[in-house]
Amino acid sequence: MSITVRIPTVLRSATGGAATISATGSTIGEILAQLASDHPGVQPQLFNEDGTLHKFLNVYVNDDDVRYLGGLQAPVADGDEVTLLPAVAGGFA
């Protein structure tokens, strides 16, 4: 079981410059936990302190946003591509 994870530019300093990383697991939660375990610098960008997915990170399995697929429980399968992109958000409040 191998999943390709695409790392956004702003997280590459924490992954030794790697733009893609291979991971194994059956859910998004397992994939991201492995990523954080292998590259501790990304942990605070992926997860809130309570272990939930960081609000300002978009996570996609192939073309789909995981928030519509069950969040950290979203299933992944061999050959899937997971993309991480920081949310582009801001404003007055």
Q: Which of 86, 88, 85, 54 has its CA nearest to residue 71?
A: 54
Question: What's the min distance (Å) between Cβ of 56 and another protein?
Answer: 6
Which token pair is 41?
Answer: 């610098």
Question: What's the min distance (Å) between Cβ of 6 and another protein?
Answer: 9
First to last CA, the chain: 43
Name the residue nearer to another protein (CB basis): 40 or 56. Answer: 56
- Residue matched to tokens 């079981």: 1
- Residues lying near another protein in the complex (CB under 8 A): 8-10, 56, 58, 60, 63, 65, 67, 83, 85-93
Which token pair is 92?
Answer: 């007055």
Question: What's the min distance (Å) between Cβ of 21 and another protein?
Answer: 16
Name the residue nearer to another protein (CB basis): 37 or 79. Answer: 79
